[in-house]
Amino acid sequence: MIRTKIEVKDMACGMCESHVNEAVRNAFHVKSVKSSHTKSLTEITSEESLDEDKLTEVIAATGYTPGKITVEEFEKKGLFHRK
């Protein structure tokens, strides 16, 4: 699994978060997407890496300002995960 984080400036409320989340879901096949206007951040979980240029374009098209993108691999751990 891949976790992509992108700074999204100018979000002011929960509706702004929903607007960004919907745009990302419509543009990419993702497992989950969640935004935080207080952190100016959107986190996207997907099976494969996302096209960063397209992601920037999708965010910009919503009227918000995209910023730095970070990508990391991660392993989702279940409730009863043991080491």
Spatial separation of the C-alpha atoms in residues 72 and 13, rounded to whole Å: 27
Distance separating alpha carbons of residues 30 and 11, to the nearest angstrom: 21
CA distance linking residue 46 with residue 40, whole number of Å? 20
Residue 32 has which token pair? 């989950």
> Residue 83 pLDDT > 60, yes or no?
no
Give dist(CA 24, CA 76) in Å, integer. 21
* pLDDT tens digits, one per residue of 31-69: 999 999 999 999 999 999 999 999 999 999 999 999 999
* CA 1-23-39 angle, 5° bins: 70
- Can you give the pLDDT at residue 74? 82
- 1 close to 73: Cβ distance less than 8 angstroms: yes
Put simply, whether the predicted model's pTM sits higher than 0.85 gets the answer: yes
Q: In this predicted structure, what is the pLDDT of residue 4?
A: 98
